[in-house]
Structure 1
Amino acid sequence: MRVAMIGTGYVGLVSGTCFSEFGHTVICVDKNPDRISALQRGEIPIFEPGLEDLVDRNVKAGRLSFTQDIKAAVDGADAVFIAVGTPSRRGDGEADLSYVYAAAKEIAQAMNGFTLVVTKSTVPVGTGREVERIIRETRPDADFEVASNPEFLREGAAIEDFMRPDRVVCGAQSERSREILRNLYRPLYLNETPILFTELETAELIKYAANAFLAMKITFINEVADLCERVKVNVQDVARGIGLDGRIGSKFLHAGPGYGGSCFPKDTLALVATGRKYQAPLRIIETVIDINDRRKRHMADKIIGACGDSVAGKTVAVLGLTFKPETDDMRDSPSLDIVPTLQAAGATVRAYDPEGIPEAKKLLKDVVWCSDAYDAANGADALAILTEWNQFRALDLRRLKTLLKQPLMVDLRNIYKPAEMQQAGFTYHSIGRPVVAPKASG
């Protein structure tokens, strides 16, 4: 089948590339000439494991191409996906749909023959109907239908999620649309992937409800972690104990500094805004948002407390800046709250991230940027782990101890075992677990 993907951001580029890997002919469109030129040269604008090789293979096979010409891409396409950004609107938290609606108008002007227009972007309930109205108003003669196909891609594991998803959700209005979507996802039938067909509005709401629920699980275990610290028990044991319950499950029960990224922060805000619009307030999600915002700031206080309640004139080494590992995404990362708070309290911050430094430099000021974890630790009074990159999981603790002014680690991702850190001679603070100090000698 022939596919046009409007938008070459994270969702559009990954989805378009994966559809081409399925054997479809895909043209990805973007208005940014620099981005298109870079993609045509084989330069990938985002960090996502495996994506560069997948793009290269499908470009060489003639199934994947990039252009600024939306008319050339849409003309004759069986399906046109809208995969543009829907950032939070300032002031009210609602999703900014201006890019979606602009894309709908341009698609309408370029269509030729029956076209299925599919919203891949995360959009509030009712957006598909508005897209339909815009296209109909722009091209009264157009032969088309609108569908919804929300993405459920985890940054750092997006290709695996697209190729082997838990489910595919499709909001479609006719058998004709459903058949096109079945053909697009036909390779997944071999793996017996559940493909759920729903109404447009149902598919739109499923995406928001799923992300809000996962954000709620994260926030729940973070609050339990605070209680664990007070009663001196291990939150990881608590999480394991409740996660083994099939009704709860173990995923997203990892205590940490709060959620961030491109999805959870904006999607929870948008869902709350939708609830208010329809006079069905989502008070649990409102509370989740508030707790998560406060938690990020509290994590800086935790580091300051570990340093004797003051970091004035001290140096803190920070490992990890992105909101999660295997991505260069800095959007709503806890580091954006933690680092400035430490600096405001008088600390010098030496920071390292395997992939996030170029983006972090745009958002964080007066940071000493380092070449690796040991460079960051050199001469620091404390070391804080903010992101659980694999290379931070097996640090040379003896070497770290010689580089730090004092053997003090604050692990906001619980990637080390307290007993191991105690044996190595560290004072070790983590999330939802008792603080350990070096064993007394003799």
Structure 2
Amino acid sequence: MTRRAAIILAAGQGTRMRSPLPKVLHPVGHRAMLDHAIDAAEGLGCERIIVVVGTHSPEVRAHVERRLGAHAIAVQDPPLGTGHAVRAAEALLADFDGEVVVTYGDVPLLRAADIAPVFGGEGVTVIGFEARDPGAYGRLVMEGDTLAAITEAKEASPQVLALTTCNSGVTAAPARLLFELLGRVTNDNAKGEYYLTDVVALARGQGALTRAVMAAEDAVMGVNAQGELAQAEALFQQVQRDAFLAAGVTMSAPDTVHFAWDTQIGAGTVIEPYVVFGPGARIAEGARIRSFSHIEGATVASGAEVGPYARLRPGADLAEDVKVGNFVEVKAVRMERGAKANHLSYLGDGSVGAGANVGAGTIFCNYDGFNKARTEVGEGAFIGSNSALVAPVSIGAGAIVGSGSVITEDVPADAMAFGRARQVVKDGAGAVFREKARAKKESRR
């Protein structure tokens, strides 16, 4: 395999998104579109990845620096077309002797497998697709296996407009050839810009090979507006759903389940309707995720049951046969085998031992307004309903906390703890209170 590099164009202003967030940072599958493009380049084995950014979006530059480092950034200033954008990366690849592919930061569904066929040619290769509605796409004019021309729709004859094979914009060539051709591209056109597509005609003019490889139309879909972003998200989700169903995950209503780009689910797991997975969800084989649950940054082991209406936040770690029920939120807590929190509780920063039972309405009071602290519940402990465990605090193995308690001190193993005021009953006081309240209300009329 020849050496590979990628140039990802991400300098567009994205004004049609009508959003303060730069276009290429909008997410698909909870991941920035630009990251999807970088993932594809890494999947191709590219040893150099250069992202071309504009001066108008410092957020994009910062994003690339965090992901790849400052050495991976080229700046296009001012923006003078796609060919000009690629040339902005030329200096960073001056010593590179291999093939270069040009991709786009706003094409989130294009995967390494779709791009790979562009490599291995001696000349210029582009990715084409069969368009359902060719519209304003540039047409690929083919002569057998040779790409004869790329013709923009506004400049095409009726015969060329009848073609449905269109240009995706993804282009590859040996680095030296690519930049030599770009050096000859002019801006003698209506927009006064330098177009990457012009390298095809220049390559043919000097006898270099030109060819096209095909990809699915959905794979090369570009995103320029919010409606297209929603469409890309829908396509991404459908691919994820199909893959999980094929892998043995049961979903009775897959169209209602939403996945992140990195969701992992084992075979035999049941996902009920209206479940959302954020980034970092890891679900083992044979778990059950019930309806209206939200899981992000959490691990769920075999046999565990989550929901309905549960929320697992980052750091939630559920062992085998754990049950987290309706309206329970878990954050940064390890729950050991068979532990239960079935109703209306918040468990944050701590641990729950094997077989322990956390009653309805229990709260781990983990934050004092400045710092977080941990709550440790031992194996087989029983936490009565409506209890507040004020961290840092430890409940020993087999201990019992009485319902309605506020626990501020450690409870030893097998002990019983109560932290509430003594109940007082005053006979007849209820009737007296009602009469006074009724009279007060009447006096206001």
Q: Would you tell me which structure has more helix in proportion to its own residues?
A: 1
Q: TM-score normalized by structure 2?
A: 0.30
Higher relative contact order (CA 8 A, sep 6+): 1
Q: TM-score normalized by structure 1?
A: 0.30
Larger Rg: 2
Q: Would you tell me which structure has more strand in proportion to its own residues?
A: 2
